[in-house]
Amino acid sequence: MDIHDLTRALHTKNDSKIVMLVADGLGGLPHSPDGPTELEAAKTPNLDKLAQKSVQGLSTPVLPGIAPGSGPGHLGLFGYDPLKYQIGRGALEATGIGFALQDGDVAVRCNFCTLDGNGNISDRRAGRIPTEESAPLAIKLREVKIPGIEVFVEPVKEHRFVVVLRGAGLGGNVEDTDPQATGVPPLKPKAHDADSEKTAEVAAEFVRQAQELLKDEKKANGLTMRGFAARPNLPTYQAVYGLRAAAIAVYPMYKGLAQLVGMDIVGAPQTLDEQVQVMKDHWNKYDFFFLHFKYTDSTGEDGNFDAKVQRTEEFDAAIPKVEALGPDVLIVTGDHSTPSYLKSHSWHPVPTLLYSHCCRPDGKTAFHEKECITGGLGQFEAKYLMSLALANAGRMGKYGA
């Protein structure tokens, strides 16, 4: 029995509103042992004030020592055990470019490559062909026609593009056709299980027609297919929590992840202020709002401590506007840490704050990594954040009599 068995069985409904603000990559590191983290250095008067009536702690995205990608990071926050629910590479790539996968779709990451006169790969990335050249080629591949199958081809960047196959009876377990070597031809698509035989056949036919369409290209006259993946079968927020959920994000990846768990994507905001306005505009239609703020992560990835501090302050400035909407439960967290010191996602637990009228405040007057260590939420797995949110919203019945 896992936490979703409990939330499915015990959730109740009321008029409460739950807001989850995700500052991507929120947690950080000091640049010297006695220095501050980005969040400690940032002036965050609004978060600090909120902390006085909240409870805080550190959430572990997956398990100690495990740095997650955006997929498992967000699944954890959404309450989906990131070790149980996995999003295949192809499905994540399609999600990341905003492609709305449907049940039964199989998505594949594809690379343009260069083939020599014998059909062997001479360059696995087609000379890192620029996007201006590769995107039209990807679009040209939409001419591929396979009876009974809808084929979608979407440009990504440089040598990368995505193929989505839609039709009955397509399993997602097909081996990569990239041999990870040059001087040899691409491999034939090979099914791992009986349910994926048809997918392998369809992929082989796609490759055949695509090669024909590409045959006069100098650089990108071939392709390989990797990370075949069916749309992950994730139960919806409605099913496991009884929540009408809205996602308010700027970037396609986070809209896509939210869509996979049944959230509605609302608005088309480009700034944090616009995101808060979208929340306000949709306040009455939803029970749960996921708002994604990207720049605490991207500045961390850039290794820019000062820029991450500044973005954190920008995020802090939005807090009163969200509070003004009167959420019953307000959560501030991140999907993982992205310390500018490491220039990458990391395993460090993530500062997390939860406000509700019955959250049992822990007496903190500031919100940051060091205070979180001794906060009332302790250290907990991110997958439990949603059951805490529901409980604090008065949306959970008692377990057992």
* Nearer Cβ to a second copy (81/197): 81
Q: Can residue 97 be called a binding residue for a second copy (CB under 8 A)?
A: no
* Nearer Cβ to a second copy (96/222): 96
3-state secondary structure of 314: helix
- For the purposes of burial, counting CB atoms within 10 Å of the CB of 199, is it exposed (0-12), middle (13-18) or buried (19 or more)? buried
Q: Can residue 68 be called a binding residue for a second copy (CB under 8 A)?
A: yes
**Using the 8-state DSSP alphabet, how is residue 229 labeled?**
E
Q: Can residue 256 be called a binding residue for a second copy (CB under 8 A)?
A: no
Please state the closest distance from residue 149 (CB atom) to a second copy, in A: 26
Among residues 142, 160, 174, 20, the alpha carbon closest in space to that of 97 is found at: 160
Q: Can residue 39 be called a binding residue for a second copy (CB under 8 A)?
A: no
Q: How far apart are CA 28 and CA 369, in angstroms?
A: 8
Please state the closest distance from residue 116 (CB atom) to a second copy, in A: 31
Cα–Cα distances in angstroms (integers) from residue 3 to residues 80, 244, 367, 387, 399, in the given order: 9, 19, 27, 8, 12
Beta bridge partners of 59: 350, 380
Backbone angles phi, psi at 110, to 5 degrees: -120, 150
Q: Can residue 342 be called a binding residue for a second copy (CB under 8 A)?
A: yes
Q: Can residue 340 be called a binding residue for a second copy (CB under 8 A)?
A: no
Please state the closest distance from residue 340 (CB atom) to a second copy, in A: 11
Q: How many residues bind a second copy (CB under 8 A)?
A: 69
Amino acid symbol at 152: F
Give the CB-side neighbour count of residue 196, counting CA atoms within 13 A: 18
Q: Can residue 384 be called a binding residue for a second copy (CB under 8 A)?
A: yes
Amino acid symbol at 362: D
Interface residue with a second copy, options 12, 14, 64, 215 (CB under 8 A): 64
Q: Can residue 373 be called a binding residue for a second copy (CB under 8 A)?
A: yes
- Residues forming contacts to a second copy in the complex (CB under 8 A) are 1, 3, 6, 10, 29-30, 33-34, 37, 52-53, 58, 62-73, 82-84, 86-87, 89, 92-93, 339, 341-342, 344-349, 358, 360-363, 369-370, 373-376, 378-380, 384, 386-392, 396-401
